[in-house]
A and B are shown apart, each in its own frame.
Chain A
Amino acid sequence: MTVFATDPGAEGLKAQADRLFARKRLMNFGLPILVLTYLAYVIFAFDVPGLYERASLENARTLVADSYSYKTHVTRDNRNGVVSVAIEGERKGSYPEGTGPDWVALGETTVIDLGNGHIVRFGPEIVEYDIPGYGLVRATPSRSAGVEAELRSGAVPDWINQSRNRLAIKTDAGRLTVTRNRAEVFRYFTGWELFWFTLDSPYHGMGPVPLLRHAFSGEAGAIWSDFWNNAMWRHRDVAWALFETILMAFLGTMGAGLVALPVAFLASRNFTPLRSVRFAMRRLFDFLRGVDALIWTIVLARAFGPGPLTGALAILVTDTGTFGKIFSEALENIDEKQIEGVASTGAKPIQRYRFGVIPQVTPVLLSQLLYFLESNTRSATIIGAITGGGIGLLLTQAIITQKDWEEVAYYIVLIILMVMVMDWFSGWLRRKLIAGSESGH
């Protein structure tokens, strides 16, 4: 248009195009440079180079290895010579006294076969480790002299750690630690041991086919209860925690919807002519949203204590603000003609709202509610970690112990599955409930 008005001629047009190109070039190169500069600043602000020193590769290795494998501890108490075998060294995973897996031969001299020719012997006095390719290592723990180790002559390899009171040998097959008070062997296996049944259950180690046979011969209840009450993996508690998390999301989202809907009428231009009321309501929504879910959680946890109710209320309060805003905008966008139509038949205000307004906003409301239900499942996990409820709590507890990484991995898988199922479910419900209205849009 401006071209017609000023008629700049060929020269002017070229200058214009040049300017445009120069600006585009500046944008095209300037923007990436700006982004890179900011990222470089962040790298220094967050001290990423220093991270290299702080990061613990050891921790990372334990974490990864532990999440898909488990270790069995064979421990000999040097004071009384008793040998015990326990999975992950936990009491819940101990073999009954005098028994062990088939690679541990208990006796006066306990022989532990670590596989690939690695043999550890717990004698009455002496602990021996036969390492293929290196030779025999012999250690004599005693209360007076500490741990006397006999190694092959020559330099000590770096996988053997020896001091006066301690001998530690780490090989691919396992790990042996001898101290004055006890000798301990770890052997590593792949998998999540005791996931189905603990050792005290008669069904431990049974294959699926015999298990089914037992189930059909009337032991289904016992099998289920052994699995459900598994002390190691606590399936019952985990199921409850998942349920609690979903409950928090459900109560919070739906409660917020119920509270926000009537209030949204007060905040929308076409239903509340009073400007001051509208303004007050809008600021209330802004306030509820602006005070973050984190702060609401803290404040509510003080009043209600930790638990799922607190989480649900925190979600409820925050989302009331969000829903209030969304709903009032939806209400402002409705078609007045439908209300007029309903009013022309002599409908009272309540009926006008019921038949003129609600059917118009229902699709928007429902789809928002369901969308938030899914995203709040994730928030409920996070809020649960802070207030202490649901799967978030279990996860933080497992991480704090810093050794149950297989449980952490399990919980993470469950959380991801839970969120994906909720995502799918809310999508399905959305299609189901508003399929008809969507075609009308």
Chain B
Amino acid sequence: MADLTADPAGVSDIRSAYIEMTRRKRVYGGLLLILFVALMAAGFRTADDRNAGNFRDGIAHVFDYPAEVLSEAAEKAAQLPGHIVHFFPALVETLNIAAASTLIGALLGTVLSLLSTRGLARWPMLIPVFRRLMDISRAVPEIVIALVLIFVLGGGPVPAMIAIAIHTSGALGKLFSEVNENASLKPVEGLQSVGANWTQRMYLGVIPQVGPNYVSYALLRFEINIRASAILGFVGAGGIGYELRNSMSWGQGRYDEAAAIFILLFLTIVIVDQLSGRLRDRLTHGART
């Protein structure tokens, strides 16, 4: 580069070096690609072997079950509105589980994130402890806590709520602490200078700065938690998932109920997705201007 008056030999050196590098890159890329394809193929074969039914036979029947359900639902179309009304309370329960666990998880996550952000932490020594705590509660799948709690507390919405709240606190705590890192410390210092204690500093100095971002993340979590609470219902924690399992295990003859639940769940997820998407858009744009 420095030698601009390079003789032709230097240029060809550079060119051959460049071509060499490109070739090497291409070889590495190709090797990675081959490795990836091999992994996918081997993985697919293993999964196919260990599955009860294999892929080739199954693929033809993918739409059998939905078709069965839909045809029965179409036959009894007149009863669908009745079913939808009947299952609406279960849907409300599922939504309540999701909302309550998001709220509790967000509150816990706020505290955890404030305690584990450098510059804001109450006990700076304990930052790693709270970080690990969030890591662990984030790593636990909800179903693990829910199943154990169902054994202790009996079936119902409370085990699901606690399980989702614990996972949410870890997941939101991590996102919140990233937001906290960008918060200005000036209001905190100002409050400290007038003798505010830690809670007041956080509530009055930090939360107003990070609030919109918090709410936006919490809304995203709410969407995820609706799905999670439907799934947990399926393993015995109440709500619409539980009703779905009941009407499914009944099998043919109650497919119209299953269809009604499918419709309810689908509509709820789509509507909440849309609403929260719009709200989040407004929140983040409001924060920007």
Which residues of A come within 8 Å of B, CB atoms? 35, 38-39, 42, 45-48, 51, 54-56, 59-60, 63, 244, 247-248, 250-251, 254-255, 286, 289-295, 298-300, 302-310, 312, 378-379, 381-382, 385-386, 388-389, 392, 395-396, 399, 402, 408, 412, 415-416, 419-420, 423
Contacts and interface: CB of A to CB of B under 8 A. Distances in A.
A307 B227 contact: no
Interface string B98-132: 01100110000000000000000000000000000
B166 interface: no
B64 A63 contact: no
6 residue pairs, one from A and one from B, having the closest CB atoms: A305-B52, A307-B51, A305-B53, A309-B51, A304-B58, A302-B65
B61 to A, nearest CB: 4
Q: Which secondary structure dominates where chain B touches chain A?
A: helix
Contacts of A244: 47, 50
Interface residues of B, number: 59
Given A42-B96, A392-B143, A396-B147, A63 B152 contact: yes
A45 B93 contact: yes
Contacts of A382: 141-143, 231
Interface string B61-81: 110111000000000000000
A291 B103 CA distance: 25
B52 A293 contact: no
A248 B51 CA distance: 11
Nearest to B97: A46
Contact of B158 (A48, A307, A395, A423): A48
B135 interface: yes
A250 B153 contact: no
Nearest to A47: B156
A312 B48 CA distance: 10
Given A303-B62, A416-B136, A292 B50 contact: no
Nearest to B143: A382
B140 A389 contact: no
Interface string B183-219: 0000000000000000000000000000000000000
Contacts of A39: 100, 103-104
A60 B54 CA distance: 41
Given A247-B43, A308-B50, A312-B44, 5 more contacts: A46-B100, A306-B51, A307-B53, A378-B141, A396-B147
B40 A46 contact: no
Contact of B154 (A55, A298, A303, A389): A55
A404 to B, nearest CB: 12
A56 B150 CA distance: 10
A63 to B, nearest CB: 6
Contacts, number: 182
Contact of A310 (B44, B51, B136, B140): B51
A306 B52 contact: yes
A114 to B, nearest CB: 28
Given A293-B231, A294-B234, A302-B64, A399 B141 contact: no
B88 interface: no
A151 to B, nearest CB: 34
B14 interface: no
A431 to B, nearest CB: 16
Contacts of A303: 53, 58-59, 61-62, 64-65
B132 to A, nearest CB: 10
Nearest to B203: A28
A386 B248 contact: no
Contact of B152 (A56, A412, A420): A56
A59 B44 CA distance: 41
Interface string B37-51: 001100110111011
A307 B241 CA distance: 21
Contacts of A392: 141, 143
A51 B157 CA distance: 10
Interface stretch (B2-10, B16-24, B264-272, B281-289): B264-272
B66 A299 contact: yes
A223 B46 CA distance: 28
A294 B39 contact: no
B152 A46 contact: no
B249 to A, nearest CB: 11
B45 to A, nearest CB: 10
A333 to B, nearest CB: 15
B51 A290 contact: no
A412 B144 contact: yes
Nearest to B271: A290
